[in-house]
Amino acid sequence: MEGTGPVDAVVNLLIGLGLPGVIIITLGFAVHRLYNRNQELLDTMVETGRETVKAQKTATASINRLSDLLLRGKAPE
């Protein structure tokens, strides 16, 4: 009796491909996972960049306000 389940089908496919085929499939899978992880990191970097720009704008506004206070002796209206 020969197995016909999905696991048996995968095993038979891997046996049919041989070692070079299995290595190629494994490397392809690894590259795919690395690509996905790289995309996640790029998305995180973009979001971090946006937050940094917001923080820099806020800091610049605060510095300008403090400068006005120090130079003019009062806060701008």
pLDDT tens digits, one per residue of 11-50:
888 888 888 888 988 999 999 999 999 999 999 999 999 9
Question: What are the φ/ψ torsions at residue 13 (nearest 5 degrees)?
Answer: -65, -45
C-alpha distance across the termini of the chain, in Å? 89
Judge whether 22 and 14 are in contact, CB under 8 Å: yes
DSSP label at residue 44 = H
DSSP label at residue 73 = S
**Which pTM does this prediction carry?**
0.56
